[in-house]
A and B are shown apart, each in its own frame.
Chain A
Amino acid sequence: MADDQNALDKIRQGGQARTEGVSQLYRSYARRFLSYFMKHRVPREQAEDLAQDVFVSIVRHAESFRGETRIDAWMWAIARNALMDHFRRARPEDPFEEDDLVRIAEAQADPPRDVSGGLEDCVRKAYAAFAESHVDRAEILARVAFEGWSIEDVAAVLKRTPGATREYLSQCRKKLKAFLEPCRDYLAG
Chain B
Amino acid sequence: MADKDDQDWTDTLAGKPPAGADPLTVKEAKAVRQAMLERREREALSGFDSESGLQRLLFRLRQERLEGQRSPAARRYAAFALAATVMLVAGLLLFLPKPESDEPVYRGVERPQTLLADDPAKASDALKRDLEALGFKPKITQRGDATLFEAPWPEKTDDRHRALLERHYLRPPEGRVLSVEVRKRP
Q: Which residues of chain A have a CB within 8 Å of any CB of chain B? A: 14-16, 18-19, 22-23, 26-27, 30-31, 34-35, 38, 48, 51-52, 55-56, 59-60, 119-120, 123-124, 126-128, 131, 141-142, 144-146, 148, 163, 166-167, 169-170, 173, 176, 180, 183, 187-188
Which single member of A15, A31, A128 contacts B67 (CB below 8 Å)? A15
Contact B31 A142 (CB under 8 A): no
Cα-based distance from A27 to B55 in the complex (angstroms): 11
In the complex, A55→B58 CA distance in Å?
10
For A144, give its contact among B13, B28, B34 (CB under 8 Å). Answer: B13
On chain A, the residues within 8 Å of B168 by CB distance are none
State whether B36 touches A127 (Cβ < 8 A).
yes
Q: Is A188's CB under 8 angstroms from B10's CB?
A: no
B39–A173 contact, CB under 8 A? no
The proximity string for B residues 61-102 relative to A, scoring 1 for CB distances below 8 Å and 0 otherwise, is 100101111100000000000000000000000000000000
How many pairs of A and B residues are in contact by the CB < 8 Å rule? Answer: 113
* Count of B interface residues, CB-CB < 8 Å: 40
Enumerate 6 A-B pairs (CB-CB under 8 Å) in ascending A order. A27-B50, A34-B48, A142-B36, A169-B10, A173-B10, A187-B27
Q: Which residue of A lies closest to B54 (CB)?
A: A26
Chain B, residues 30-51, CB within 8 Å of chain A (1/0): the string is: 0111111111100101001010
Binding site for A on B (CB under 8 A): 1-3, 6-7, 9-10, 13-15, 24, 27-28, 31-40, 43, 45, 48, 50, 53-54, 56-58, 60-61, 64, 66-70
A120–B56 contact, CB under 8 A?
Answer: no
Given contacts A123-B32, A128-B39, A173-B9, contact A18 B14 (CB under 8 A): no
Please determine whether B53 and A26 come into contact, CB atoms closer than 8 angstroms.
yes
15 more CB-based (< 8 A) A-B contacts, given A15-B67, A22-B57? A27-B54, A34-B45, A123-B34, A126-B35, A128-B35, A141-B13, A142-B40, A144-B10, A144-B14, A145-B14, A169-B2, A169-B10, A170-B2, A173-B10, A187-B28
Set A30, A31, A56, A173: member contacting B66, Cβ < 8 A: A56
Complex formed: what's the CA distance from A169 to B86 in Å? 58
B57 near A170: Cβ-Cβ < 8 Å: no
Could you say which residues of chain B place their CB within 8 Å of the CB of A170? 1-3, 6
A23 CA / B51 CA spacing, docked (Å): 9
Nearest B residue to A18, CB-CB: B68
Main secondary structure of the interface of A (DSSP, over half): helix
Task: Report the minimal beta-carbon distance from A48 to chain B, rounded to whole angstroms.
Answer: 6
Q: Contacting A52 at CB < 8 Å: which of B24, B27, B28, B53?
A: B53
- Contact in complex: B45, A52 (CB < 8 Å): no
Q: Which of B28, B50, B58 is the one whose CB lies under 8 Å from A180?
A: B28
Q: Which 9 A-B pairs have the closest CB atoms?
A: A14-B68, A170-B2, A14-B69, A166-B2, A15-B68, A127-B35, A123-B31, A170-B6, A124-B35
Contacts of A128 in B (CB 8 A): 35, 39
B58: contacting residue among A19, A48, A187, CB under 8 A:
A19
